[in-house]
């Protein structure tokens, strides 16, 4: 969906002197497209993964000082912009979830299809690993994150198995966890919906990286720095992320005036315009080109008036 994102950003990012933020740099594919398709734009790209920053720096080196790469989490974008002396931006792109690099590197522990150390940290220099979560969280906390973050129907049962089995031997690698989850889920449920460990791995990844808490700060922070006429593009890959994005977008696109007023004061008028009706899904052609686009939900919004800062 890369080109669709570029098309959504174009009305704002194509203007000379535009500043565009890539909130999820990864391997730099979106950043490279922004710099290529909008030759008058300056890019500020952030990522919490030092390895991604090193690889992207090489990829984006030909663009020189048009690209500024920063080691930061995307809820820190306002501070990053302050440090760079940039008061507002004209485009922001979020491509949420795990990057292709993180999925493809077995030793990161994100993929349940191959045995690997249970790490799952997007920034391996800080925070608890997935193994530490599995080996130290109480039964109640494990069940909670599996149910809330993984939307797992059998969260309590899986948590019980984890607590029982870690007493025999601490969890260190993914294959053992995958097998335990598979055995904890009824056979009839295992026959549909793909790998039964998928939801458990999603829940652990979200917990380890604080993804929903970070996103809950990042979206309003990015919207606050968006110039009038600027656009924000968000690609989510699971319903919890998309729900948060939807709530912030709809709040900005809805009048806050009491019903029945003959005149709506400006401060109560919507300050966002939605450019997608609901969440846009990937087409069959896009999925065929990149199978990881299958679960994507795309939303686009534009700031249409200034608000008090």
Q: Give the mean pLDDT per block of 10 residues along the chain (309 residues).
A: 93 95 94 97 95 93 96 96 97 84 58 81 87 96 95 95 96 92 85 80 93 95 96 94 95 86 82 93 85 88 85
**Token pair listed for 244:** 């948060």
Whole-model pTM? 0.89
2, 3, 119 from 33: Cα distances, Å? 8, 8, 31
Pairing of strands 226-236, 280-281: unpaired
| 112 among annotated binding-site residues | no
DSSP letter string, 220-277: HHHHHTEEEEEEEEEEESSHHHHHHHHHHHHHHTS--SPTT-SS--GGGS--EEE-SS
How much is the pLDDT for 234? 97
Between CA 280 and CA 233 the distance in angstroms is 11
Return the pLDDT at 290.
80
Q: How far is CA 75 from CA 26, 48, 178, 199, 214, in A?
A: 16, 10, 32, 25, 6
Select from 207, 229, 203 the least CA-distant residue to 88: 229
Pairing mode, strands 42-47 and 19-22: parallel
Q: Please, are residues 19 and 42 in contact by the beta-carbon 8 Å criterion?
A: yes
What backbone torsions phi and psi does residue 291 show, to the nearest 5 degrees? Answer: -60, -25
- For residue 103, the model assigns a pLDDT of 57
The pLDDT value given to residue 265: 82
Alpha-carbon gap, residue 151 to 199, rounded angstroms: 7
- Pairing of β 272-274 and β 89-95: unpaired
- What is the per-residue pLDDT for 111? 66
CB 252 within 8 A of CB 271: yes
Which pLDDT belongs to residue 291?
80
Q: Is residue 294 classed as helix, strand or coil in its secondary structure?
A: coil
CA distance 25 to 116: 24
Per the listing, tokens 């979020």 go with 94
For residue 69, what are the contacts with CB-CB under 8 A and spacing of at least 6? 25, 45, 46, 47, 53, 56, 57, 60
Whole-number pLDDT of residue 262: 79
102 annotated ligand binder: yes
Give SS3 for 152.
coil
Please tell me the predicted confidence (pLDDT) of residue 106.
57
Residue 30 is labelled as binding a ligand: yes
Q: What is the pLDDT of residue 168?
A: 95
């Amino acid at each position: 969906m890369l080109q669709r994102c570029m098309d959504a950003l174009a009305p704002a990012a194509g203007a000379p002197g535009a500043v565009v933020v890539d909130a999820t740099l990864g391997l730099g594919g979106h950043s490279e497209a922004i710099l290529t398709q909008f030759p008058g734009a300056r890019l500020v790209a952030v990522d919490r993964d030092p390895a991604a920053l090193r690889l992207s720096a090489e990829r984006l080196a030909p663009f020189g000082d048009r690209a500024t790469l920063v080691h930061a989490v995307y809820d820190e974008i306002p501070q990053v912009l302050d440090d760079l002396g940039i008061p507002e931006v004209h485009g922001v792109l979020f491509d949420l979830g795990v990057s292709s690099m993180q999925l493809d590197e077995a030793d990161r522990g994100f993929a349940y299809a191959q045995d690997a150390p249970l790490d799952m940290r997007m920034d391996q220099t800080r925070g608890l690993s997935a193994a530490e979560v599995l080996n130290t969280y109480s039964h109640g906390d494990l069940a909670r994150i599996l149910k809330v973050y993984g939307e797992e129907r059998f969260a309590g049962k899986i948590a019980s198995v984890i607590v029982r089995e870690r007493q025999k031997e601490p969890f260190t690698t993914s294959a053992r966890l995958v097998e335990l989850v598979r055995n904890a889920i009824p056979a009839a449920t295992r026959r549909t919906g793909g790998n039964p460990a998928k939801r458990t791995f999603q829940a652990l990844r979200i917990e380890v990286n604080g993804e929903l808490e970070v996103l809950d700060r990042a979206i309003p922070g990015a919207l606050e720095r968006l110039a009038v006429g600027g656009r924000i593009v968000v690609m989510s890959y699971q319903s919890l992320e998309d729900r948060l994005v939807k709530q912030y977008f709809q709040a900005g696109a809805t009048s806050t005036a009491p019903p029945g007023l003959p005149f709506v004061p400006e401060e109560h008028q919507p300050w966002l315009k939605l450019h997608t009706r609901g969440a846009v899904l990937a087409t069959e052609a896009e999925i065929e080109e990149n199978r990881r686009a299958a679960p994507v939900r795309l939303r686009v919004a534009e700031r249409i008036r200034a608000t008090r800062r």
